[in-house]
């Protein structure tokens, strides 16, 4: 018996040739559409009708798509975040939904500190001035002089905090769920309300999940509550931040700068005002970049798929 599997995960597609013998051995016929960043609902509706399983990225698996997928048994997400998939509909329709928890905590935490150090040491701006022939010493600060506020003390938030301890930063944490008290004590984190964190932190790192309670968690009111020199770093999900409110805060000097790996609309539209704001550092949703982490997620994502389809996992030595 053969299975048709839609493989739309853009990070896996370039390496798919390596895995084709594994799929063929298990009777899987891959369906590989062209994907730039993600597939939208209308694109999935044209593909999903005869599909038994999916290996996806951040594709928009709405209820309408899932109800059209009469054969679908499993969605295996490449990575951790499953906010683009209607989880309630999956449960009601009996479609298994799998992911890889804690997939990219380390590279994402590194990315947070890349932004932080760029702002603290003013490196991008001095580099650009030097390229233009301008010898200008732009004042910066040492991280040990700053207070870090971490919104979402989960796997990524904890990885950010572990690094912050090494830099000697004061650390504030905020989470809607209880955080392990031993971790908080060991890393000298002071758990506070979101209001206190926003008013006190010099650097704010957004590391929470995207869900109905965190959509536009940071908007006009929250930016107004921050210090005028506060730096905001978002490596989680774009819609956690109200982007027009962020643009207004930056343009009006309400905050000191922003580092963004994620956006409300991806890819970032060519006419986005963020592109022309001098104190906005931007990246194309690439904070997960890590060969070691990617390899682990490739294998785990396929094994999740195989398990739900009743097929054997990848055996040691099976991959070239």
The domain locations on the chain are: 3-103+291-308, 105-282
Query: pLDDT per residue over 15-62, tens digit each?
Result: 999 999 999 999 999 999 999 999 999 999 999 999 999 999 999 999
* Greatest C-alpha distance within the chain: 69
Mean pLDDT of 101-105: 96
Per-residue pLDDT at 107: 98
> Cβ distance 193 to 172 under 8 Å?
no
pLDDT level of residue 85 (50, 70, 90 thresholds): very high
Which CATH code fits 3-103+291-308? 3.40.50.720
Which CATH code fits 105-282? 3.40.50.720
The domains spanning 3-103+291-308 and 105-282 adopt the same CATH topology: yes
Does the pLDDT of residue 1 top 90, yes or no?
A: no
- How far, in Å, CA of 8 to CA of 189, rounded? 40
- How far, in Å, CA of 69 to CA of 64, rounded? 9
Per-residue pLDDT at 275: 98
Mean pLDDT of 64-86: 97
Distance of CA 71 to the CA centre of its chain: 30
Length of the chain: 320
Per-residue pLDDT at 17: 97
- Which sequence positions are flagged as catalytic? 237, 266, 285
- How far, in Å, CA of 86 to CA of 81, rounded? 12
Mean pLDDT of 169-194: 98
Given strand 74-77, what is the order of strands in its sheet?
28-31, 3-7, 53-56, 74-77, 96-98
185-208 burial, b for 16+ CB within 10 Å, e for fewer? eeeebebbebeebbebbbbbbbbb
């Amino acid at each position: 018996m053969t299975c048709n599997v839609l493989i739309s995960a853009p990070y896996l597609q370039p390496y798919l040739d390596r895995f084709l013998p594994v799929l063929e051995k298990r009777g899987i016929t891959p369906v590989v559409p062209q994907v730039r960043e993600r597939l939208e609902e209308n694109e999935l509706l044209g593909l999903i009708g005869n599909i038994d399983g999916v290996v996806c990225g951040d594709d928009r698996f709405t209820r309408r798509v899932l109800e059209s997928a009469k054969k679908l048994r499993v969605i295996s997400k490449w990575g951790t975040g499953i906010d683009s998939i209607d989880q309630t509909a999956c449960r009601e329709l009996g479609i298994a939904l799998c992911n890889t928890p804690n997939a990219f905590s380390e590279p994402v935490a590194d990315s947070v500190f890349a932004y932080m150090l760029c702002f603290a040491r003013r490196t991008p701006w001095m580099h650009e001035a030097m390229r233009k022939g301008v010898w200008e010493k732009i004042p910066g600060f040492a991280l040990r002089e700053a207070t870090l506020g971490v919104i979402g003390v989960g796997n990524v938030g904890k990885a950010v905090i572990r690094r912050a301890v090494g830099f000697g930063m004061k650390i504030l944490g905020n989470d809607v769920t209880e955080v392990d008290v031993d971790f908080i004590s060991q890393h000298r984190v002071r758990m506070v309300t979101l209001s206190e964190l926003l008013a006190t932190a010099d650097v704010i790192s957004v590391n929470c999940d995207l869900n109905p309670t965190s959509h536009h968690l940071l908007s006009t009111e929250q930016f107004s509550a921050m210090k005028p020199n506060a730096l905001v770093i978002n490596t989680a999900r774009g819609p956690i931040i109200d982007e027009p409110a962020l643009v207004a805060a930056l343009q009006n000097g309400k905050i000191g700068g922003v580092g963004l790996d994620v956006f409300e609309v991806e890819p970032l539209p060519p006419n986005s005002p963020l592109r022309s704001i001098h104190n906005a550092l931007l990246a194309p949703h690439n904070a997960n970049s890590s060969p070691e982490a990617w390899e682990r997620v490739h294998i785990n994502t396929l094994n999740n798929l195989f398990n739900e389809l009743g097929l054997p996992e990848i055996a040691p030595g099976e991959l070239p």
